[in-house]
Amino acid sequence: MGRRVAWAAGVLLLLAAAGAGYWYLQPRIDEGDPETLRIHGNVDIREASLAFNAAQRVAAMHAEEGDRVEAGELLGELEPERLEQSVARAEARVEAQRQKLAELERGPRPQEIRKAEAELELAEATARNAERSWQRLKALREDDHASAEAVDNARAAYEQARARVQAAEEALSLVRAGPRQERIQAARAQLQAREAELARARHDLGETELRAPSDGVIRERLLEPGDMASPQTPAYTLARTEPMWVRAYVPEPQLGRLQPGMAARIRTDTFPDKRYAGWLGAISPTAEFTPKTVQTERVRTDLVYEVRIYVCRPQGELRLGMPVTVTLPLEQEAPGREAACDGPP
């Protein structure tokens, strides 16, 4: 009998505690001021999973759990040797192509022109000598002192010499004209391709460093030096310090009196005498309720809508999941974010 009484008393106490908690968490009008809505919620923030954008072994991890970091701060490094070698090779290819382009743009050297001129003079002298030999053999042939074959050979030698003169003239013309513009443009395009390869190699080398994308607090450190990193493997979990908001719920009867931008005041149990300025941000377009299906007018008032109350200056004192109390004056013009944050806390 005693056990049954004790068990019944325990169940009643549990139900009473659950009811008190449910009553405490329900949004309600402040009894002291019927134009003020007091709601309870929890601090929420955005989180980011930070990963190296390269597959390489971790060389160093500079942050620990709980560390506050600033945007751009170095958090970790990968072993850079392989990528440094790639950069060096790309730099060498760029320099070689740059020199090749410069050579084409400068055109022929004076020595090359003089050489082509000398080769033309040599070809002309050879042609003149071949012509004289041919003419002498023709005269001898008339006196029957030279064979027809010798005359024909001398004429062929002369014609060959004249062809070499023409070739030397064309070669000199090409040297003086310099390289074709198409060759220069092709060399310039090749240089641009080499420079793009160098930029990519340097970018890949820069990816060996992991930097904070924004101000925040390190929640988790997931890799250690010696681990193999990859873009699919998070190295840190970063909790952003901005923006910070309170996730709370507003009853359906009060929904029509709320407007985005309304000023709000936030209080925590940790600092009960301190107030934080805030402003009403997003209001959920969909309702939430218990039970899941509501059809009667009696239980319509159990509908609640999720809202976000953004905190203007959290000052590093609010933490993820921290329970807070938010007061919203219902009879106010929505001043907007700037006015709400510039006002007194």
**Following DSSP, what letter does each residue of 128-174 receive, concatenated?**
HHHHHHHHHHHHHHHTT-S-HHHHHHHHHHHHHHHHHHHHHHHHHHH
Band (317; pLDDT cuts 50, 70, 90) = confident
Share above pLDDT 90 across residues of the chain, in percent, rounded to a whole number: 25
The pTM of the full predicted model, rounded to 2 decimals, is 0.59
- Evaluate whether residue 14 is within a structural domain: no
Say yes or no: 190 and 283 in one domain. Answer: no
**What's the CA gap between 216 and 196, in Å, rounded?**
35
- Evaluate whether residue 169 is within a structural domain: yes
Say yes or no: 128 and 193 in one domain. Answer: yes
Structure letter (DSSP) for residue 30? -
Instruction: For residue 88, give the nearest of 77, 99, 96 by alpha carbon.
Output: 96
- Evaluate whether residue 209 is within a structural domain: no
- Evaluate whether residue 10 is within a structural domain: no
- Evaluate whether residue 19 is within a structural domain: no
Instruction: For residue 271, give the nearest of 314, 310, 240, 242 by alpha carbon.
Output: 314
Band (224; pLDDT cuts 50, 70, 90) = very high
Amino acid of residue 33: D
Say yes or no: 90 and 191 in one domain. Answer: yes
- Domain of residue 263 covers 27-47+240-342
Band (30; pLDDT cuts 50, 70, 90) = very low
Say yes or no: 139 and 199 in one domain. Answer: yes
- Evaluate whether residue 117 is within a structural domain: yes
Q: Quick check: 291 pLDDT over 90? A: no
- Evaluate whether residue 1 is within a structural domain: no
Structure letter (DSSP) for residue 301? G
Say yes or no: 196 and 95 in one domain. Answer: yes
Say yes or no: 326 and 268 in one domain. Answer: yes
Say yes or no: 104 and 171 in one domain. Answer: yes
Band (155; pLDDT cuts 50, 70, 90) = confident
What's the domain count of the chain?
3
Say yes or no: 252 and 313 in one domain. Answer: yes
| Angle formed at CA 105 by CA 101 and CA 110, multiple of 5 degrees | 120
User: What does the block give as tokens for 342?
Assistant: 């510039």
pLDDT per residue as tens digits for the range 158-194: 889 889 888 888 887 877 777 788 888 899 999 999 9
Say yes or no: 58 and 92 in one domain. Answer: no
**What's the CA gap between 141 and 137, in Å, rounded?**
6
Say yes or no: 304 and 338 in one domain. Answer: yes
pLDDT, the chain, mean: 80
Count of other CB atoms within 10 angstroms of residue 280: 25
Say yes or no: 68 and 90 in one domain. Answer: no
Structure letter (DSSP) for residue 235? -
| Cis status, amide bond into 335, omega within 30 of 0 | no
Band (28; pLDDT cuts 50, 70, 90) = very low
Q: Quick check: 233 pLDDT over 80? A: yes
- Residue-wise DSSP of 273-319: T--EEEEEEEEEEEEE-SSS---SGGGGGG-EEEEEEEES--TT---
Write the CATH number for 287.
Answer: 2.40.30.170
User: What does the block give as tokens for 165?
Assistant: 């003169």
Say yes or no: 74 and 104 in one domain. Answer: no
- Evaluate whether residue 6 is within a structural domain: no
